[in-house]
């Protein structure tokens, strides 16, 4: 499964799990049949485990096109990023932000370029689905940690899809491993970030996720999921045979430093081997 090459995620993603890999890698199984991640985002856990066989999914078509572009034409992605690096300016940023490239490698370089140079690395779209984050202060388009060649090799073993999470989870069989990191939405919590996420992932989606993971657990699938540590979320998993762990992370996704703070998160897990006689 995992080789000796360390792969650093190429995207900064709200709710990304780099901190989770650093602090809770012991909760991740090292042996499983197939890796399934239905909320791909920045892919921190995927790049840490480097599985030979994976199903990766998300409902964000630009994100999925980015991974497909790296999988199929990583050299073209790099050349396009080099071009963006040379042309980077206010005018070029907003030109690329408004562009709608057709080929996956171009969509990949656009996503990476905007992610690295937009304000605070935030991915946000308007009601028409158009990326609308202004240019930020960072100008580095290519990073020393980039290893798109090795990422492309790893992604060759992955089936990458635009798909609803329930469809992907339903494919999991005994011995597979699901890592699920949905957008965090809770009942009775109306801060701005949750309001935005509610458009992406509603409370009914939270309920659907809990049910899908419950049935996957019944099939003997290994599961690690993260979520908001909120009573409404805990209630979905408390009496269903999952192990619940509370942890804290530091959130830096805010324009104002005083609004960046520690947040409690919930880790929901099930190890199928623990239930074997």
Instruction: Please write the tens of the pLDDT for every residue from 215-234.
Output: 999 999 999 999 999 999 99
Domain locations along the chain: 18-59+163-275, 65-148
* pLDDT score, position 251: 52
The CATH code of the domain at 18-59+163-275 is 3.40.50.150
pLDDT at position 16 over 90: no
* pLDDT score, position 248: 80
pLDDT at position 154 over 60: yes
* pLDDT score, position 201: 83
pLDDT band at 254; cut points 50, 70, 90: very low
Which of 70-74, 153-157, 160-164, 250-254 comes out lowest in average pLDDT? 250-254
pLDDT at position 137 over 90: yes
C-beta of residue 40 within 8 angstroms of C-beta of residue 170:
no
Percent of the chain clearing pLDDT 70 (strictly above): 88
pLDDT at position 188 over 60: no
Spelled out in words, what is the top-level CATH class assigned to the domain 65-148? Answer: mainly alpha
pLDDT at position 197 over 70: no
pLDDT band at 90; cut points 50, 70, 90: very high
Among all chains, which residue has been given the structure tokens 């206010």? 90
* pLDDT score, position 274: 76
Rg (CA), the chain: 19
Count CA atoms closer than 13 A to 48's CA, side-chain side: 21
* pLDDT score, position 141: 97
Structural tokens at position 88 = 């980077």
Strand extents, DSSP E, the chain: 35-37, 54-58, 158-162, 177-180, 222-228, 243-250, 262-270
Task: Please give the model's pTM, rounded to 2 decimal places.
Answer: 0.90
Give 56's strand partners: 37, 160
Q: pLDDT tens across 92-136, in order? A: 999 999 999 999 999 999 999 999 999 988 888 887 888 999 999
Cα separations in angstroms, 15 against 41, 122, 134, 145, 227: 9, 10, 20, 20, 10
Of 73, 82, 37, nearest to 176 (Cα)? 37
pLDDT at position 260 over 80: no
pLDDT band at 276; cut points 50, 70, 90: low
Query: What number is the average pLDDT over the span 6-20?
Result: 91
């Amino acid at each position: 499964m995992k080789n000796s090459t360390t792969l650093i995620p190429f995207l900064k993603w709200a709710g990304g799990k780099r901190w989770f890999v650093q602090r809770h890698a012991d909760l991740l199984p090292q042996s499983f049949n197939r890796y399934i991640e239905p909320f791909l985002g920045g892919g921190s856990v995927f790049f840490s485990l480097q599985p030979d066989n994976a199903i990766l999914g998300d409902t964000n078509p630009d994100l999925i096109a980015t991974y497909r572009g790296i999988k199929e034409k990583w050299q073209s992605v790099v050349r396009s990023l080099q071009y963006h690096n040379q042309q980077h300016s206010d005018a070029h940023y907003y030109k690329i932000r408004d562009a709608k490239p057709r080929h996956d490698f171009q969509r990949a370089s656009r996503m990476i370029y905007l992610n690295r140079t937009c304000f605070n690395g935030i991915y946000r779209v308007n009601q028409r689905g158009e990326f609308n984050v202004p240019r930020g202060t960072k100008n580095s388009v290519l990073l020393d940690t980039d290893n798109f060649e090795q990422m492309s090799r790893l992604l060759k073993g992955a089936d990458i899809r635009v798909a609803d999470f329930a469809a992907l989870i339903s494919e999991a069989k005994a011995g597979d491993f699901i890592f699920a990191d949905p957008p965090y939405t809770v009942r009775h919590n109306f801060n701005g970030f949750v309001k935005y996420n509610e458009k992406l992932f509603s409370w009914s989606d939270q309920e659907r996720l809990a049910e899908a993971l419950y049935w996957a657990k019944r099939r003997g699938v290994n599961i690690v999921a993260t979520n908001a540590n909120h009573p409404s979320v805990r209630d979905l998993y408390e009496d269903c045979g999952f192990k619940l762990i509370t942890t804290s992370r530091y959130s830096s996704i805010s324009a104002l430093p005083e609004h960046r703070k520690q947040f409690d998160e919930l880790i929901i897990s099930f190890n199928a081997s623990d239930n074997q006689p």
